Amino acid sequence: LAIESSCDETSAAVVLNGREILSNVIASQISTHEQYGGVVPEVASRMHIEAISGVVEEALLKANITLENIDAIGVTYGPGLVGALLVGLQFAKGLAFASKKPLVGVNHIQHKDLKPPFISLVVSGGHTFIVHVKDYGIYEVIGQTRDDAAGEAYDKVARALGLGYPGGPKIDKLAKEGNPKAITFPKANFHEETLDFSFSGVKSAVLNYLNKCNMQNIEINKADVAASFQQAVVDVLKDNVLLTCKKKNIDTIAIAGGVASNSTLRETLINEAGKKGIKVLFPTPILCTDNAAMIGSAAYFNFINGKVNDLNLNAKPNLKL
């Protein structure tokens, strides 16, 4: 049984042998945070408290299993919003204590869906990095964002375009009607010195472009802005991840995080990687955003490797991989 509450989704899942999802219940708070244009941490924590027991009960019910038949309780203890993390963590500790089952803390960024070695591109609202997964639990971070995460840039640009939150899916949709070559936005490139990313430059360039148009009374074609911004982001993600595969001589890429559902990122990577004989694996969209099934899978591998925690486990908002 796994529990996830690191941001604005309360989720519980039952996972068999680390790979088979018996249930994956997700209570999303998006409609509440939408009105504020982003996640309000205090509101998120309160909503987790309201949702958590029902979500866990439903996950057990859907998996047709009782707590007695669960082997271990996995839970995200970081990274994330501390108040939000604490709700899931305390609930998991309570369950583990009452049922005398082992507690397994999971790093939200840990993924165990495929067999190493592979290159993982993690692109979400809070993270953007490339990891070389050498073996189960053995990672090397190859590059990461120096400022905004890719999803964060999507959300901020969407907000400036008046599209609402979360911005990623809205830009993704609008971009289909626009011309990706209409406006040239800057792409951060550290010239192979490092495979780090930077998305604040492209974000600021979009904001400046919009301001300039407004000041000069130039009509803004939102679809062109969305498509051109997206092109700049996707190109950098694609270039860096393909360069990593070349440097490390790896032929499998696994994408994770909310931005992994982006249709242009998917198409571009599949095409460009395909030309080089590199496989690209994407989770289904529901497994791209926060969910407890991925936590259950990671918890399983921790558990069979003897990595269990005691009830002193604390939330770590800045937990590193």
Which strand (E) or helix (H) includes residue 222? Answer: helix 222-248
Q: Which of 110, 231, 240, 261 is close enough to bind ligand KG4 by CB under 6 A?
A: 261
Residue with Cβ nearer ligand KG4 (60 or 157): 157
Residue with Cβ nearer ligand KG4 (143 or 168): 168
Q: Which of 172, 187, 209, 313 is close enough to bind ligand KG4 by CB under 6 A?
A: 172
Contact set for ligand KG4, span 128-147 (CB under 6 A): none
φ, ψ dihedrals at 50, nearest 5°:
-65, -35
User: 167-175 and 150-160 are packed helices; what angle lies between their axes, rounded to 10 degrees?
Assistant: 70
Contact 199, 150 (CB under 8 A): yes
Whole-angstrom distance, CA of residue 225 vs CA of residue 183: 7
Structure tokens belonging to residue 234: 């996707």
Q: Does 105 bind ligand KG4 (CB under 6 A)?
A: no
Number of residues that bind ligand KG4 (CB under 6 A): 19
Q: Taking CB under 6 A as the rule, which mask of x and - marks residues 234-253 in contact with ligand KG4? A: --------------------
Q: Does 79 bind ligand KG4 (CB under 6 A)?
A: no
Residue with Cβ nearer ligand KG4 (26 or 253): 26
Q: Which of 83, 105, 257, 296 is close enough to bind ligand KG4 by CB under 6 A?
A: 257
Q: Does 29 bind ligand KG4 (CB under 6 A)?
A: no
φ, ψ dihedrals at 113, nearest 5°:
-75, -20
DSSP state of 260: G
The separation between the first and the last C-alpha atoms of the chain, rounded to the nearest angstrom, is 22
List the one residue out of 293, 292, 300, 308 whose CA is nearest residue 93: 308
Contact positions vs ligand KG4 (CB under 6 A):
7, 124-126, 151, 154-155, 166-169, 172, 257-259, 261-262, 289-290
